[in-house]
Structure 1
Amino acid sequence: MTKTDTPLGLVRDRIAHAESIARRPRGATTLIAVSKTHDAAAIQPLIDAGQRVFGENRVQEAQGKWPALQELTPGIELHLVGQLQSNKAEDAVRLFDAIHSVDRPSLVAALAKAIDKTGRAPACFLQVDIGDEPQKGGCALSDLPALLAEAKAAGLPVAGLMCVPPAGLDAAPYFALTAKLARDHGLTGLSMGMSDDFETAVTLGATHVRIGSALFGARGQ
C-alpha cells in the first residue's frame, strides 16, 4: 500500500480528490509515471510501491532500461508520451503498450505497417496541437477529422486524444476543448495533464495524466 506522505502517495491522493470534486469514480484516471531521464534505481521505489504504468519520451532510452525492469516485475504497462519518428515505429510498437503522439499520416502508415508485422497493437492517442504551437507536435485542429479517419482505416486502435497546452497559460480552456473534440468524434480517452496542471485535467475528464517531476523531482535530482 502506498504511503500517503511519499510523492507517489500525494499525487494519487490529489488525483482522487480531483475525481471527487468532478463527481467522477475513484480510479477513473490512470496515472502515468513519466520516468524519462531517470534510471532504474530511481524507478524501482515506485514499482515497489505498486505503480505499474510508466511513460517514456524516447524509444532508445526506454529500450535501454525497461526490458530488464519488466522481466523482474511482470504487469508493467509502458506508454510512449514523446514525439515518435516514423523510422522508429516498429521499435515503438514492439516495446510500448500505448503511444500518445500520433500526429501525422506518415506516422499512421508506419504504425499500421509495424502492427501488421509484429502482431502487437498498442493503444494510440492522436495528439492535437491544441494551442497552435507547431514546434510541440500534434495535428492542427482542422486536420483532426482526416487524421482520425486515416488512423481508423489503417486499423490503428485509436484510444482518444492527447494534448499539451501552452506553457504559462490557464490550461483549463485547452483541456475543455480537447474533451469536446473527443466527444464530437466519439472518443473516450483523454491524455492530458502533467505535474503543474493534472488536477485541472482530471476535473475536466482526463483518463490519463502524465506525471514526471511531481514524482521524481526535477531532472538531474
Structure 2
Amino acid sequence: MSFIKANLENIKERITQAAKACGRSPEDIQLLAVSKTFPAEDVRTCFDSGQRAFGENYVQEGVAKIASLQDLRAEIKWHFIGPLQSNKSRDVAENFDWVHSIDRLKIAQRLNDQRPSNLPRLNVCIQVNISGESSKSGVQANDLIELCKHISELPNLLLRGLMSIPEPTDDVAQQRQAHHELRQLLEILKSSEELDQSKMQLDTLSMGMSSDIEAAIAEGSTMVRVGTAIFGKRTYL
C-alpha cells in the first residue's frame, strides 16, 4: 500500500470518528485533498485510492495539473482555494469546478464573465477573515450580506457557502470558537430576509485542515481541506 493511500484511509477514519463523536453522519463531510506543490502523479495515486475532490492554491500549477490529468477530468472535481488575482481569473473560470476564496465583487464579476457558456455554473464560496488577521485574505463579517447580494445576481456563479482559514492554534477551544463563528455567519445568511434564497444554495462550510479537522467537524464543517496529512510535508522551492 502506498503511503498516500494509507494516509488517505487514516484521514477518512479521523473524519468518521469526529463525525460520530458529535452525532453527525460522516457522509455529510466531504474530504478535499489539497495537492498544492505535489506532482500530478501523486494526485493520480490519490485518485486511484478513491479520492475525487482536489484543491489547488496556485493557478498555474493547478491548470497544468488539470491538463496533465485530463483523462480523469470527468471524475475529478477541482477546487481553487488560494488567493485569486484579477489577471488569473480567466484560467480559474475556464478550468475549475469550485472557487472557495472569493473576497470581493471584482473577482466574482470576472469569474462570472469569463465562465465558458458550455460549462455549468461555477460553485463559489466567500472567504471570511474570521480571525481578523491583516495578512489573511477574506471579507469582513459586516460586509458579507452585501457581497452575497451581488454574487447571487451573477448568472454563471452559484453561491454555496463560506470558507475560512483561522489563525493557527493548538488550543482546541480556540479552534472551535473560530469555526463556530463561521457557522453562525452562514446561519445568518440562510435566514436573512435581505437575500433571495432561491438564487443561492447555502449548504457549504469549507473549514478545517490537517491540524483541526475534529474541531471543524464538531462545529458543522461540510468540507475539510487536507494536504499535509495526505501527501506529506511540503517542500517549497
Partner residue of 1:167? 168
Matched ranges for 1:1-221 at <5 A: 6-72=6-72, 74-115=74-115, 119-155=119-155, 156-168=157-169, 170-186=174-190, 187-220=202-235
- Identity fraction in percent: 35
SS of residue paired to 2:69: helix
Is the CA contact 1:94–1:118 (under 8 Å) kept in the aligned structure 2? no
Q: Deviations over 1:79-124 (max 9, x none)?
A: 0011111222221011111000010011121112113656442210
Q: Deviations over 1:20-73 (max 9, x none)?
A: 112112211110000000002222221111111100001100111222213146
> What is the identity, as a one-letter code, of the residue corresponding to 2:93?
V
Structure 1 residues 5 and 153: alpha-carbon distance in aligned structure 2, compared to 1, 3 A threshold: closer
Tell me the TM-score normalized by structure 1: 0.93
Shift of 1:3: 10
Which shows bigger deviation, 196-205 or 2-11? Answer: 2-11
Runs (4 or more) in structure 1 with deviation over 6 Å come to 2-5
Tell me the TM-score normalized by structure 2: 0.87
Is the CA contact 1:3–1:9 (under 8 Å) kept in the aligned structure 2? no
Structure 1 residues 105 and 73: alpha-carbon distance in aligned structure 2, compared to 1, 3 A threshold: closer
Is the CA contact 1:4–1:13 (under 8 Å) kept in the aligned structure 2? no
SS of residue paired to 1:126: strand
SS of residue paired to 2:162: strand
Which shows bigger deviation, 49-58 or 20-29? Answer: 20-29
Shift of 1:171: 1.4
Q: Deviations over 1:164-210 (max 9, x none)?
A: 11122521101001001001101321000011001111111111110
Q: CA RMSD in A?
A: 2.2
2: CA distance, partners of 1:104 / 1:134: 16
Is the CA contact 2:101–2:126 (under 8 Å) kept in the aligned structure 1? yes
Which shows bigger deviation, 6-15 or 43-52? Answer: 43-52
Please list every run of 5 or more consecutive structure 2 residues that lacks an aligned counterpart in the other structure. 191-201
Structure 1 residues 158 and 93: alpha-carbon distance in aligned structure 2, compared to 1, 3 A threshold: same
> What is the identity, as a one-letter code, of the residue corresponding to 1:196?
S
Shift of 1:4: 11
Shift of 1:10: 0.4
Q: How many residues are aligned here?
A: 221
Which shows bigger deviation, 206-215 or 58-67? Answer: 58-67
SS of residue paired to 2:138: coil
